[in-house]
Each structure stands twice: as structure tokens, then as C-alpha cells.
């Protein structure tokens, strides 16, 4: 009996529960007076066990509620999911950014709602970096630079009575775009947006460049031009004009080489003369000359000559930060935004009149749900034609696309 009593004491001491300790004292009293049977002791043990289980369960339940409460009050916020804040005097709510995509720029814009009689401040690492006042219940912080790695921004509101409230905390991690992201082949933008990019390639001829630039200037359109290094060498004044008039310039390699074996075997195997070093030199030399001519950096977009590329080639370019931009293609010429405007031989199966070209572009996607949304059109800055110039129909193409509700944009605007 003494051993049984000692075991109970150890159990109750381990649990640290006062009610069971009292029960232990009752058992000790019964044992001392030797007026209790073993059956009664057994029943008391069972009852004590039940009471102990209930008390332990209650303790665990309280612990779980405490943990849950802590989780509910955490303010960890990702850039892709910013939850509404709790109710407070200024009623601030972050509505942007809210994008589920690869971050390619380190500038963000934060938009929110607040009463007009509040002062909104933006803090990074406990330092105020911007202050603004709401207008018509809205406020905005623009061009906020995010740093590589972890970013933490806090938004505070000072109400009319001078009280400062911590309203929202935004946390996210910003990395450079991954190589696999940059190495994709971009042939179309967002098909939900009524936007189209008309693009022009320039290699060794620029006899269509000035008429094209005149038309774009008259129509107030900014386009994307993909230029080779030898184009830059031969026509620096044309290049400077493009930049001065606000157009976007992409890389078209140095001397327009064949990058794959498509011309020989209709397969896009990497050409034996093309290595990682050679491709990157083609791109780098063109970029350096462009900066020397214009004083600015070239946009980090490129277009493979003849449309010849594969994942390996695109990845080599991606190592320099370049995205390969093609054009929208389909099963045949009419289902493609390649205008074939460079073909001069009227007896060639690839020759199409200027009117056929413009009608093809204007009719693209007719009868389809998304029409020509997000399409990239390919044209050229040089031609060997002696008449029937496709660029003469460019005003008709532009007006026709606008009448259909399309917005004409640059490639970067289309893809980003």
C-alpha cells in the first residue's frame, strides 16, 4: 500500500496539479485510518485520472487558442497577397501592388485609401522615405525603389487629432529575373488586352527608315526597333533620330548571322559556328556601340536574325539580361503577323502586295474571342522593292487598328 501511495505522489507532482494533490491527501487519510478497501482506492484512482485528463485537456486547449491568436495577429504580407487591414480611424487599405508575376523592375507603386484629413507616411527600416496627403480618399507612393533581397515597408497614418497609427506592413523578397524566365520566346503579349506592337528590324538597309519614322511621328506612335551593329555603324543619324523621337531600341546582333541550322535541315539546332562566347559578343558589341552613339543604354530585348533560335541560344542571351522577342505566328501566312515586306521578287510565293499586307494585319483574329490582342507585327526598315512599298500603307494599317479599338504600344509595354 505504501508503494502505491508513493507512485501517486510522483504522478501528481509531475503534473503539478493542485486538485490532484488534494485528492492524494484524501487517499493518505483513508490509508492511515485503515478503513478503506482496495476497491475504493481503485475507484478513487479512476476518478482522479478522469479529473487529471480534463484539466490537462483544458490546459492544452488554452495553449492552442493562444497560438492561434498569435497567428491571427501576424502581419507577414507577401507581394502577391496583401490582406485588408483591421478597422481604424483613417480606414487605410492597400490596393496595389497585387501582381502574381516575375518582378523585372525594382520600382514599385503603392496605392491606398484614406480619409483626406490624414497624413500618410511610408517607412523603410524605421526611416521615413516618403510622405503624402490623400486626395478624394486615395493616395499613392510612386517609383519606390526595392532593394535586392528582403524588403519591408510600413505605412503610417497621422489622424486629425495628431495620433499616429501603424496601418500596414508590406514584406516581400525581390530577386533578379530567373534565366528560365528571360529565356522564353516572346511572340505575343496579354491576349486580354487590346494592345498591339508594330516592330521594325534594321540590318544593312535603311531606305525605308525615314518615311516610316515620319509616319510614326505624324500618328504619334512609339514603336520598337531591332537594330544590328552594322546598322548602327552605317546609319548613326537614323538611330539618334529614333531615340530622340522616343522609340524603343532592341538588339538584333552585330551582323545578322544564322544562329541555327534551320536553313540546311529545317531544324533549330545550334549552328556549329555559334558558341556562347560568339553570341554574347554579337550582343555586347552592338550594345556598346549603341551607347557610344546615343549616350544611353539599349533596351534588354533582342530578336534573333531570321527568327532562328532555341532554348540554349536564348539562355546564352538571358545571361546578359536579354529577352528574345519574336513575332506572332500561326499555321500559315494569313495567321501570322510577319508581313514579309522584305520580299521584292513579285514572282516569289512569299511576295504580297502592300494592300494584301495591310488587309492581312487588319483581319487577323477576326471571329476569334481575343482577336489580335497582344500581337507583335514584324516589318523592316530596308527594302529592295522598286514600287508598291508596304510602308506606304502604314497609315492605313495604323488607322484601321485604332478603329478596331487597339492601342499601339512598344514591345516592353506589351510584355510588362
Q: Which CATH class is domain 93-174?
A: mainly beta
Give the model's confidence band at 161: pLDDT under 50 very low, under 70 low, under 90 confident, else very high.
Answer: confident
Collapsing DSSP to helix, strand or coil, 196 comes out as strand
**Cα separation, 259 vs 278, whole angstroms:** 10
Each residue of 299-318: pLDDT tens digit? 999 999 999 999 999 999 99
Domain boundaries, the chain: 2-73, 93-174, 179-415
Q: In 10 A of CB 364, how many CB atoms? A: 20
pLDDT value at residue 322: 96
**Beta strands 164-174 and 127-132, pairing class:** unpaired
Of 218, 192, 143, 187, give the one whose Cα is nearest residue 335.
Answer: 187
- pLDDT tens digits for 83-117? 333 333 344 455 544 433 455 567 888 898 888 88
Q: Label residue 45 by pLDDT band (50, 70, 90).
A: low
Which residues, 6+ apart, have CB-to-CB distance to 211 below 8 Å? 389, 391, 392
CA distances for 241 relative to 21, 247, 392, angstroms = 93, 9, 20
Record the pTM: 0.63
Checking 19-22 for CB contacts under 8 A at 24+ apart, the result is 19/51, 19/55, 20/48, 20/51, 20/52, 20/55
User: First and final CA of the chain: distance in angstroms?
Assistant: 82
The confidence score (pLDDT) of residue 172 equals 78
Q: Which one has a higher pLDDT value, 128 or 33?
A: 128
What CATH number has the domain spanning 179-415? Answer: 3.20.20.370
Residues contacting residue 332 through CB under 8 Å, at least 6 positions apart? none
Nearest to 46 by CA among 8, 10, 15, 6: 8
Question: Sign of dihedral through CA atoms 332, 334, 339, 344?
Answer: positive
Amino acid at each position: 500500500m505504501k508503494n502505491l501511495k508513493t507512485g501517486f505522489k510522483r504522478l501528481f507532482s509531475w503534473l503539478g496539479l493542485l486538485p490532484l494533490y488534494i485528492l492524494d491527501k484524501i487517499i493518505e487519510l483513508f490509508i492511515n485510518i485503515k478503513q478503506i478497501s482496495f476497491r475504493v482506492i481503485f475507484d478513487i484512482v479512476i476518478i482522479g485520472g478522469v479529473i487529471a485528463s480534463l484539466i490537462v485537456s483544458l490546459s492544452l486547449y488554452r495553449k492552442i487558442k493562444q497560438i492561434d491568436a498569435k497567428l491571427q495577429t501576424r502581419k507577414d504580407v507577401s507581394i502577391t497577397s496583401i490582406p485588408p487591414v483591421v478597422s481604424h480611424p483613417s480606414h487605410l487599405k492597400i490596393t496595389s501592388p497585387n501582381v502574381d508575376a516575375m518582378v523585372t523592375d525594382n520600382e514599385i507603386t503603392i496605392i491606398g485609401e484614406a480619409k483626406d484629413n490624414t497624413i500618410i507616411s511610408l517607412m523603410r527600416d524605421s526611416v521615413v522615405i516618403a510622405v503624402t496627403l490623400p486626395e478624394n480618399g486615395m493616395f499613392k507612393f510612386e517609383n519606390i525603389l526595392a532593394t535586392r533581397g528582403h524588403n519591408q515597408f510600413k505605412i503610417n497614418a497621422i489622424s486629425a487629432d495628431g495620433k499616429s497609427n501603424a496601418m500596414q506592413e508590406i514584406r516581400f523578397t525581390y530577386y533578379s529575373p530567373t534565366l528560365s524566365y528571360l529565356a522564353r520566346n516572346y511572340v505575343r503579349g496579354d491576349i486580354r488586352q487590346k494592345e498591339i506592337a508594330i516592330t521594325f528590324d534594321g540590318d544593312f538597309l535603311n531606305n525605308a527608315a525615314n518615311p516610316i519614322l515620319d509616319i510614326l511621328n505624324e500618328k504619334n506612335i512609339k514603336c520598337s526597333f531591332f537594330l544590328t551593329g552594322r546598322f548602327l555603324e552605317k546609319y548613326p543619324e537614323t538611330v539618334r533620330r529614333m531615340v530622340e523621337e522616343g522609340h524603343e531600341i532592341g538588339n538584333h546582333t552585330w551582323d545578322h548571322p544564322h544562329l541555327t541550322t534551320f536553313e540546311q535541315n529545317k531544324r533549330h539546332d545550334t549552328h556549329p559556328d555559334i558558341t556562347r562566347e560568339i553570341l554574347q559578343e554579337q550582343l555586347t558589341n552592338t550594345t556598346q556601340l549603341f551607347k557610344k552613339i546615343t549616350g544611353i543604354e539599349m533596351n534588354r530585348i533582342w530578336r534573333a536574325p531570321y527568327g532562328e533560335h532555341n532554348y540554349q541560344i536564348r539562355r546564352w542571351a538571358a545571361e546578359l539580361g536579354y529577352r528574345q522577342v519574336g513575332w506572332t505566328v500561326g499555321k500559315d501566312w494569313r495567321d501570322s503577323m510577319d508581313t514579309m515586306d522584305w520580299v521584292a521578287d513579285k514572282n516569289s510565293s512569299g511576295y504580297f502586295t502592300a494592300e494584301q499586307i495591310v488587309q492581312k494585319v487588319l483581319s487577323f483574329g477576326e471571329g476569334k474571342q481575343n482577336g489580335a490582342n497582344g500581337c507583335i507585327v514584324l516589318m523592316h526598315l530596308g527594302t529592295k522593292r522598286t514600287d508598291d512599298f508596304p510602308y506606304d500603307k502604314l497609315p492605313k494599317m495604323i488607322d484601321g487598328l485604332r478603329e478596331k479599338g487597339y492601342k499601339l504600344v512598344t514591345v516592353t509595354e506589351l510584355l510588362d
